[in-house]
């Protein structure tokens, strides 16, 4: 399984010392240059491949910037152009646009749940990271989603 990932999941996973989960859960992880620019000082692990967009993809992103950030758009275009159906996105508008493009979004929480499903994290380890993200690091989850995650990890 391959993933093209945006800045938000990278930043949030780094905040809870969980970037390594990406290499445990996915065969290949790509990210576009706009994401690298967005994450600033966060040093990407070597297993994340920074991949440039085609000229056509870059032109599309330049013309489409509006309610979505360049990184989100580049993630979607890179995924589509690379034949990768899974995109790591947290922002709701970006997730909806990805779905409209025929892509499947997975967010930071989804990655933690996937790691739990694969036996990489225990329920307690996954929940402690979810709690830290929400209470300490500013990841917004609606009360309904938070309760759903809590139930899934019991």
More confident residue, 119 or 42: 119
Mean pLDDT score of the chain: 95
Tell me if 86 is assigned to some domain: yes
Task: Kindly state the percentage of the chain with pLDDT values over 90.
Answer: 86
Tell me if 136 is assigned to some domain: no
Residue 150 clears pLDDT 90, i.e. is over it: yes
Tell me if 31 is assigned to some domain: yes
Given a contact cutoff of 8 angstroms between Cβ atoms, the answer to whether 142 and 31 are in contact is no
Tell me if 131 is assigned to some domain: no
Given a contact cutoff of 8 angstroms between Cβ atoms, the answer to whether 28 and 34 are in contact is no
Kindly report the CATH number assigned to the domain that includes residue 74: 3.40.50.1010
State whether residue 15 is helix, strand or coil.
helix
List the domain range (segments joined by +) for residue 87.
2-109
Tell me if 30 is assigned to some domain: yes
Q: What is the pLDDT of residue 76?
A: 96
Q: What is the pLDDT of residue 62?
A: 79
Write out the DSSP string of 115-132.
HHHTTSS-HHHHHHHHHH
Q: Which pTM was predicted?
A: 0.94
Kindly report, residue by residue over 91-116, the tens digit of the pLDDT: 999 999 999 999 999 999 999 999 99
Tell me if 119 is assigned to some domain: no
Given a contact cutoff of 8 angstroms between Cβ atoms, the answer to whether 12 and 133 are in contact is yes
Question: How many structural domains compose the chain?
Answer: 1
């Amino acid at each position: 399984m391959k993933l093209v990932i945006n800045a938000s999941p990278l930043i949030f996973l780094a905040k809870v010392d969980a970037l390594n989960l990406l290499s445990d859960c996915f065969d290949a992880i790509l990210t576009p240059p706009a994401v690298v620019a967005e994450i600033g000082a966060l040093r990407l692990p070597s297993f994340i491949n920074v991949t440039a967009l085609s000229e056509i993809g870059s032109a599309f992103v330049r013309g489409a910037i509006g309610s979505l950030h360049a990184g989100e758009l580049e993630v979607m275009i890179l995924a589509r152009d690379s034949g990768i159906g899974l995109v790591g996105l947290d922002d709701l508008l970006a997730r909806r646009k990805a779905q409209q493009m025929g892509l499947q979004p997975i967010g930071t929480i989804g990655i933690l749940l996937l790691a739990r499903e694969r036996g990489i994290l225990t329920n307690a380890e996954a929940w402690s990271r979810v709690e830290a993200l929400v209470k300490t690091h500013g990841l917004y989850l609606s009360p309904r989603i938070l309760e759903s995650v809590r139930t899934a990890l019991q």
